[in-house]
């Protein structure tokens, strides 16, 4: 099991493919399995690095507080431990907040930044409108993802058929 020790935490990670490094940062509570529908396609062109954030999956649960800047330090530490000076970075949900902190605190580590389903967070963040979280909108997102080739709904453990 590939593990790297960074500060007070042991992070589980995986690498797949060859090419320029492409770091994918998970959202709250998501393990590397979240990326399984996506990393295979990306790994056709890039060296994909996925990992479990502190306290999630196969990474250890440290007793220190979890902060976005500390988790960005974890991501930078992972790149350092793997001997990767710079990477494309994709952050989803809370992983997008971590990615933003990574580019602000370690700009030399980020070649390009892609953010998905995220916010800048903090006291000036604007939460999504309640109507965007209606079940019909979640169905649309699930159906759109399925139509793009993903076979599992991110909101359930069952396959989702197109048009369902």
Is the model's pLDDT at 23 over the cut of 60?
Answer: yes
Is the model's pLDDT at 164 over the cut of 80?
Answer: no
The b/e string for 83-97 (b: 16+ C-beta within 10 A; e otherwise) is ebebbbbbbbbbbbb
> By percentage, how much of the chain surpasses pLDDT 70?
79
Q: Token match 């965007």: residue? A: 132
pLDDT at 134: 56
**Based on the domain organization, do 121 and 138 belong to the same domain?**
no
Domains in the chain, number: 2
**Based on the domain organization, do 95 and 30 belong to the same domain?**
yes
pLDDT at 84: 98
**Based on the domain organization, do 75 and 155 belong to the same domain?**
no
Give the model confidence (pLDDT) of 81-107 as tens digits.
Answer: 999 999 999 999 999 999 999 999 999
**Based on the domain organization, do 106 and 149 belong to the same domain?**
no
pLDDT tier at 117, thresholds 50, 70, 90: confident
Burial label for 143, CB within 10 Å (0-12, 13-18, 19+), is: middle
Domain of 142 in residue numbering reads as 128-164
**Based on the domain organization, do 70 and 113 belong to the same domain?**
yes
Q: What integer is the mean pLDDT of 17-24?
A: 97
**Based on the domain organization, do 145 and 121 belong to the same domain?**
no
């Amino acid at each position: 099991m590939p593990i790297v020790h960074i500060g007070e935490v042991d992070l589980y990670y995986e690498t797949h493919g060859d090419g320029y490094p492409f770091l994918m940062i998970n959202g709250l509570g998501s393990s590397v399995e979240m990326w399984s529908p996506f990393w295979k396609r990306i790994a056709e062109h890039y060296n994909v690095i996925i990992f479990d954030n502190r306290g999630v999956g196969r990474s250890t649960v440290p007793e220190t507080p979890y902060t976005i800047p500390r988790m960005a330090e974890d991501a930078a530490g992972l790149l350092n431990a793997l001997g990767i000076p710079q990477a494309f970075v994709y952050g989803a949900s809370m992983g997008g907040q971590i990615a933003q902190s990574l580019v602000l605190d370690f700009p030399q580590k980020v070649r390009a930044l892609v953010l998905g389903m995220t916010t800048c967070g903090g006291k000036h963040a604007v939460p999504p409108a309640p109507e965007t979280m209606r079940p019909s909108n979640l169905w649309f997102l699930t159906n759109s993802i399925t139509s793009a080739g993903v076979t599992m709904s991110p909101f359930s453990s069952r396959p989702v058929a197109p048009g369902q």
